[in-house]
C-alpha cells in the first residue's frame, strides 16, 4: 500500500474541506500551520489508518464533536463523549441571561438541572468565580464527563446525581435555577435524523410530548428558589407560549421569553414571588 500524501487527503471531496482539515489536525496532533507546511509529506501508515477510521465514521453521520472529542461553548473547550449532549450555540443565550439575573447578587447560589457536559454550570462558574454552583444529572456517565470538564477548566462546581430536584440536598435555596432539559417529543422524526441519532436519547426526549420535564422543573422550582430568585429554561422552537403558561400558573412573576441567535424564542423564565406576598 502506498502512503498517501497529506495534500491528496486534503483534496478529498467526500467531506467539506474544513472537516477534512479538522480530522487531519486531530489524528496528527498538529495545528493548521504545520499541515500547510507539510502538505507533500507522506503520511505515517498508522496516522493514515486512524484518519480513514474517522472518515468512515463521519461519512456514516457521526457528529464531528464526538469524533474530535470536544466542542467550544461560551469560549471554553468542553470534552464531549456520546454520553452527553453536544452543547449548542443556541444555549449560550441561557448562560448570558443567567449571568444577567445574578449580576447584582454577591456570591449567588445557582443550580443547573440536567448538566450533561457541564457546559452551562461551568460557564457560569467561570464567569462568576464567587458563585456557589451546583449541577445535577440523572446520568452518572454524563456527570463523569462534566466533572472532568470542571477540573480541566478549573471551575468550582458541586455535582449531584439524581432525578431533577431529587438530587438536590434538603435545605439548599438558590438565587437562580437554570435548565436545558429534554424537550423533544418522543414521536418527533428528527430524533432519527442527523446528529440527534448519535446523542443520548434521554438527553433529547422526555419520552412523552416534550413538556413533561419542563413542567416538573417549573412545578418544583418554588420549593428551591429564594424569594425573588429566578428560573430560566431552554425549550423547543414552538414551546415558548406553553412554558410561559406553566411559569405563570406556578406563580412566577415577570414571565418572559428570549430569542436565540436565529431569532426563535428559545428560553423562558420568570422571578419567584418575593417573601410576604
Candidates 66, 92, 101, 115; binder of ligand SAM (CB under 6 A) is 115
Q: Determine if 48 is a binding residue for ligand SAM (CB under 6 A).
A: no
Specify the DSSP class assigned to residue 34: H
Give the separation between CA 266 and CA 277, rounded to whole angstroms.
Answer: 30
226-265: which residues touch ligand SAM (CB under 6 A)? Answer: none
Q: Is the dihedral of CA 210, 261, 127, 83 positive or negative?
A: positive
| Smallest distance, ligand SAM to C-beta of residue 151, A | 17
Q: Determine if 180 is a binding residue for ligand SAM (CB under 6 A).
A: yes
Place of cell 419542563: 214
Paired with 176 in beta bridges are 110, 230
Residues whose CB falls within 8 Å of the CB of residue 142, separated by 6 or more in sequence, listed in order: 83, 84, 115, 116, 117, 200, 203
Candidates 23, 85, 111, 155; binder of ligand SAM (CB under 6 A) is 85
Find out whether 201 and 253 touch, Cβ atoms under 8 Å. Answer: no
Q: Determine if 269 is a binding residue for ligand SAM (CB under 6 A).
A: no
Binding mask 121-140 for ligand SAM (x = CB under 6 A): ---------------xxxx-
| Smallest distance, ligand SAM to C-beta of residue 189, A | 18
Query: CA nearest 252: which of 266, 270, 230, 233?
Result: 270
The H or E element containing residue 109 is strand 109-113
Q: Determine if 148 is a binding residue for ligand SAM (CB under 6 A).
A: no
Q: Determine if 120 is a binding residue for ligand SAM (CB under 6 A).
A: yes
86-105: which residues touch ligand SAM (CB under 6 A)? Answer: 87, 91
Pick the closer one to ligand SAM by CB: 51 or 183: 183
3-state secondary structure of 104: coil
Q: Determine if 143 is a binding residue for ligand SAM (CB under 6 A).
A: no
Burial of 133 by CB count in 10 Å (0-12 exposed, 13-18 middle, 19+ buried)? buried
Q: How many residues bind ligand SAM (CB under 6 A)?
A: 22
State the DSSP string of 172-228. --EEEEEE----B-TT-GGGGSGGGGGS-HHHHB-SSSS-HHHHHHHHHHTTTEEEE
Q: Determine if 164 is a binding residue for ligand SAM (CB under 6 A).
A: yes
Candidates 20, 133, 155, 203; binder of ligand SAM (CB under 6 A) is 203
| Smallest distance, ligand SAM to C-beta of residue 60, A | 23
* Binding residues for ligand SAM (CB under 6 A): 85, 87, 91, 113-117, 119-120, 136-139, 142, 163-164, 180-182, 202-203
Amino acid at each position: 500500500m502506498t502512503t498517501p500524501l497529506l495534500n491528496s487527503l486534503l483534496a478529498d471531496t467526500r467531506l467539506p474541506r474544513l472537516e477534512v482539515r479538522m480530522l487531519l489536525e486531530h489524528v496528527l496532533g498538529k495545528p493548521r500551520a504545520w499541515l500547510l507546511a507539510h502538505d507533500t509529506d507522506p503520511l505515517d501508515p498508522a496516522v493514515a489508518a486512524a484518519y480513514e477510521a474517522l472518515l468512515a465514521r463521519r461519512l456514516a453521520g457521526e457528529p464531528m464533536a464526538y469524533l474530535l472529542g470536544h466542542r467550544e461553548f461560551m469560549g471554553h473547550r468542553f470534552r464531549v463523549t456520546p454520553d452527553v449532549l453536544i452543547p449548542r450555540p443556541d444555549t449560550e443565550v441561557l448562560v448570558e441571561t443567567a449571568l444577567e439575573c445574578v449580576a447584582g447578587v454577591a456570591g449567588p447560589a445557582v443550580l443547573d438541572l440536567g448538566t450533561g457536559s457541564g457546559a452551562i454550570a461551568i460557564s457560569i462558574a467561570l464567569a462568576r468565580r464567587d458563585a456557589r454552583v451546583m449541577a445535577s444529572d440523572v446520568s452518572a456517565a454524563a456527570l463523569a464527563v462534566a466533572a472532568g470538564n470542571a477540573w480541566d477548566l478549573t471551575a468550582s462546581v458541586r455535582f449531584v446525581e439524581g432525578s431533577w430536584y431529587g438530587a438536590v440536598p434538603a435545605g439548599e435555596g438558590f438565587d437562580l435555577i437554570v435548565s436545558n432539559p429534554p424537550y423533544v417529543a418522543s414521536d418527533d422524526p428528527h430524533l432519527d435524523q442527523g446528529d440527534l441519532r448519535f446523542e443520548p436519547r434521554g438527553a433529547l426526549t422526555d419520552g412523552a410530548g416534550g413538556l413533561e420535564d419542563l413542567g416538573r422543573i417549573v412545578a418544583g422550582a418554588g420549593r428551591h428558589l429564594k424569594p425573588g430568585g429566578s428560573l430560566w429554561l431552554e425549550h423547543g422552537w414552538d414551546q415558548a407560549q406553553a412554558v410561559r403558561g406553566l411559569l405563570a400558573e406556578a406563580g412566577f412573576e415577570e414571565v418572559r421569553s428570549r430569542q436565540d441567535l436565529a431569532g426563535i424564542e428559545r428560553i423562558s423564565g420568570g422571578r419567584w414571588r418575593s417573601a410576604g406576598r
